[in-house]
Amino acid sequence: MYKILVVDDSALMRRIVCDIINSDSDFRVVDVSADGEDAYNKIKNNPYDLVVLDMVLPRLTAVELIEKLFAEKVPFNIVLMSSTLKEDAESTTRALELGALDFVLKPIRSGNDTRDAFGASLIKALHDAIKSSNYKIISKKDVSYSAKSIEDSKKTTQEKMEMVRNKLMAAKLGSGNAQTEPVKEEPKPVEKKVEKQQEQPAAPKSSPAAKGTKGRKLVALACSTGGPQALHTFVPMLPKDLSVPVVIVQHMPEGFTASLATRLNQISSVNVKEAEDGEFFRPGFVYITPGGKHMEICEDASHAAYCHLDDGPPVNSLKPCADIMYKSLKNSGFDEIICVVLTGMGADGSAGIKFLNQFKKTYVISQEASTCVVYGMPKAVEQEGLADEVVPLKSVANSIVKRLGG
User: Which of 243, 240, 235 lies closest to 262, judged by CA?
Assistant: 235
Which residues are within 8 A (CB) of 94 and not within 5 positions of it... i.e. 6 or more apart?
63, 263
Number of Cβ atoms within 10 Å of the Cβ of 277: 15
- In three-state secondary structure terms, 385 is coil
Q: Is 348 a catalytic residue?
A: yes
Is 390:330 a contact under the CB 8 Å cutoff? Answer: no
Q: Is 128 a catalytic residue?
A: no
Strands (DSSP E) contained in 292-358 are 294-299, 305-310, 336-341
Handedness of CA 310, 232, 139, 38 (dihedral sign): negative
Q: Is 25 a catalytic residue?
A: no
Give the active site residue among 251, 268, 294, 395. Answer: 251
Rounded Cα–Cα distance for residues 306 and 172 (Å): 29
Give the active site residue among 82, 132, 224, 328. Answer: 224
Q: What is the DSSP letter of 192?
A: P
- In three-state secondary structure terms, 344 is strand
Rounded Cα–Cα distance for residues 132 and 345 (Å): 9
Rounded Cα–Cα distance for residues 393 and 233 (Å): 8
Distances (CA, A) of 63 to 72, 100, 280: 14, 10, 36
Give the active site residue among 54, 88, 348, 388. Answer: 348
- Active site (catalytic) residues: 224, 251, 348
